[in-house]
Amino acid sequence: MKAATVIQLKKELETLNEEHLRQLCLRLARFKIENKELLTYLLFESEDEAYYIEGIKEQVDQLFEEINTKSYFYIKKSVRKILRLLKKYARYSNSKETEIELLLYYCHKLKNLKPSISNNVTLTNIYLKQIESIEKKIIKLHEDLQYDFRERLNDLNE
């Protein structure tokens, strides 16, 4: 089966009644956890982006506390897992500001991780790659936001 294009789906969805749309959404939510998470974000959390960001930051704090720091191997695995999670949550929001905010927080937590990431090339590269990603995303924002985020990025690099 070949998937329909977004345009085709949009046209078909416009023809459906409200109850049928509700049933389709619920059925879609049953198949993948990401669909359910996105629907949760859209229905309950999209109105208050700051609250959404704070909730994610709390989850990141907890995940960083649970990292097994006995070996850099386990640290790398955990750090990559946290980054994947952050990127998924940023995709739900579809906001560059939210994505930058979350990545800045991630880099801050990564930089302050004990043992230091500077002792491991892979962890340092992950950190630098995210800093580079943040810089590229900042360019696409409004000037005032660019200034604010650059200040925070400079504080992180010191």
Distance CA(111)–CA(156), nearest Å, equals 8
The more confidently predicted of residues 9 and 54 is 54
Single pTM value for the model: 0.88
Query: In whole numbers, what is the pLDDT of the chain averaged over residues?
Result: 92
pLDDT at 28: 86
Is 158 a residue whose pLDDT tops 80? no
pLDDT at 4: 86
Average pLDDT (48-60) is: 95
pLDDT at 47: 92
Average pLDDT (88-112) is: 94
Average pLDDT (74-100) is: 95
pLDDT at 157: 79
Does residue 82 contact residue 90 with C-beta atoms inside 8 Å? no
For the chain, which residues make up each domain, given as ranges? 47-157
Angle between helices 72-93 and 121-138 (to 10 degrees): 20
